[in-house]
Amino acid sequence: MEGPPTRVTNRGPGRALIAVYILFAIAATSRATLQIVTKFDEAPVAYLLSAFAAVVYIVATFGLARGGPNGRRTALVCCTVELVGVLAVGATSLLDRALFPDDTVWSGFGQGYGYIPLVLPVLGLLWLRRTRETD
């Protein structure tokens, strides 16, 4: 006897979510690359955090697009790390500006990107929850 059909992460609204993750992967990668190549010595922590955010967005994109148990697990870890990162970096960047002399993708809770970096992992986690298999 078969169980309920597996709900996939890369269909319906999942496609729009993946598209936004692709956009942020490109934006964060471009920003981090430019910052690291041209002015790394000015704010190395901020620029390395932007590079880390880029990697998280890239891996989350592949996890959501792949689906299945491994893709879901990958996306779950990435969305969780992303949410913790944006909350930690967002709070720290507001409390201690000296630590972040230049913005990261997650500075000010993603203020420079319209707060989408704050909302995106929440949407990702909600989508993963909505599309999980039920017993």
- Give the model's pLDDT for residue 133: 72
User: How far apart are alpha carbons 59 and 10 in whole angstroms?
Assistant: 14
- Evaluate whether 61 touches 18 at the Cβ level (below 8 Å): yes
- Higher pLDDT among residues 134 and 94, named by residue: 94
For 63-94, write each residue's pLDDT tens digit. Answer: 999 999 999 999 999 999 999 999 999 999 99
- Give 13-69 pLDDT, tens digit per residue: 999 999 999 999 999 999 999 999 999 999 999 999 999 999 999 999 999 999 999
Non-local (6+) Cβ contacts of 124 within 8 A are: 17, 21, 60, 64, 75, 78, 79, 82
For residue 34, the Cα-to-chain-centroid distance in whole angstroms is: 19
**Residue 19 in tokens:** 């598209």
Please, are residues 49 and 28 in contact by the beta-carbon 8 Å criterion?
no
Residues 84-132 have pLDDT tens digits of 999 999 999 999 888 888 888 999 999 999 999 999 999 999 999 999 8
What is the percent of the chain where pLDDT is above 70?
A: 94
